[in-house]
Amino acid sequence: MNPSRRDFLGAGARCAAAAGLGALVAPLSVMAAKAPAIKATSLDERFSLITGAGANVVALKGPQHSLLVDGGLKPHAKEVLRVATRATGNPRVGVLINTHWHPAQTGANETVGAAGAEIIAHEVTRQYLARAVASVDYDGLYGPLAAAGRPVKTTRTAGELAFAGTTVRYGYLPAAHTNGDLYIHFPEANLLVAGGPVASEAWPLLDWRNGAWLGGLVRAHETLAKLVNDDTRVVPAHGRMLSGAELRQHHALYAAFHEQLVVFQNRGYDTGDCIAQQPLKAHEPQFGDATAFIRGAFHSLNLAYSPD
């Protein structure tokens, strides 16, 4: 049997990983070493934003224990938990929700899971944390985590819980940043933790090795835009908080970019042709050089649209 074009591109994807399509990869140890000081910023009387651990971490104060969304890289877990305790006044974490399975989101899982916390995530995150996984996000393999660090409660679509009188809603964002992304919405607080699909100070990462593609990123922004108003506080995986109004602007940006790349693809352009057109030049002052993002986005479209 002759290999399909999808098979050929899949093999090419494994080779192209070394070229850093869509990301400037680094070993996990290097990622951790680059972290600045870990600190907490109060968002209101109950919520705090913890930064400096490799990813944004949100802490919610409870009467006896706290709820965390993501946990930073593993080398920073102890400090993240110390800062969370000081910010919330809670001596331990009772619930940890992972927005996805990347190292910067799940580095505290083993510590809080071993201490008895309930870990919640998408079902794909649970599966991935049980084995070693490669990604365009880092060099090498990540995992498996010890059993205590794997989610005990999962969803394939959406879920909801009440924590200390606060509604916590979470939902699936298919093929957006990874293949297991969740958003976490606190409607009474007008706060949305968007996770990896949203970026405020750089271009978002498309982990095409693990199911992400540009169309999924656009669809995720469309879903999130329906949850917010102009004043909603939106927490991305990395960088400063956004407003709901800014999130809607990002949706329009990526939707237009998707349409443009499809036009390029139909014209028979290759990656170099797309980059030469500089379709995102107007936004580079805000997000930086778009070359790697364009490479990853175009590659993700080739994988998504390739006929068998």
Please give the structure tokens belonging to residue 248: 């809607």
Cα 11 to chain center, whole Å?
25
| pLDDT bucket at 26, cuts 50 / 70 / 90 | low
Percentage of the chain beyond pLDDT 70 is 88
What's the pLDDT tens digit per position in 71-126?
A: 999 999 999 999 999 999 999 999 999 999 999 999 999 999 999 999 999 999 99
How far apart CA 247 and CA 194 sit, in angstroms, is 10
**pLDDT beyond 90 at 4:** no
CB atoms within 10 A of CB 74: 23
**pLDDT beyond 50 at 160:** yes
Q: Measuring CA to CA, which residue among 23, 43, 18 is closest to residue 193?
A: 43
DSSP-derived pairing of the beta strands 133-135 and 158-163: unpaired
Please give the structure tokens belonging to residue 35: 């972290």
| CA angle at 85 for the pair 127 and 91, rounded to the nearest 5° | 85
How far apart CA 104 and CA 158 sit, in angstroms, is 22
CA distances from 268 to 2, 8, 248, 257 (A): 24, 18, 31, 17
**What domains can be seen in the chain, in order of their start residue?**
5-305 (3.60.15.10)
Q: Quote the pLDDT of residue 305.
A: 85
The reported pTM is 0.90
Nearest-10 Cα torsion for 94, 97, 129, 106:
-90
Cβ proximity of 261 and 301 under 8 Å: yes
Q: Determine the average pLDDT of the residues in 154-168.
A: 97
What's the pLDDT tens digit per position in 121-133?
A: 999 999 999 999 9
**pLDDT beyond 60 at 30:** no
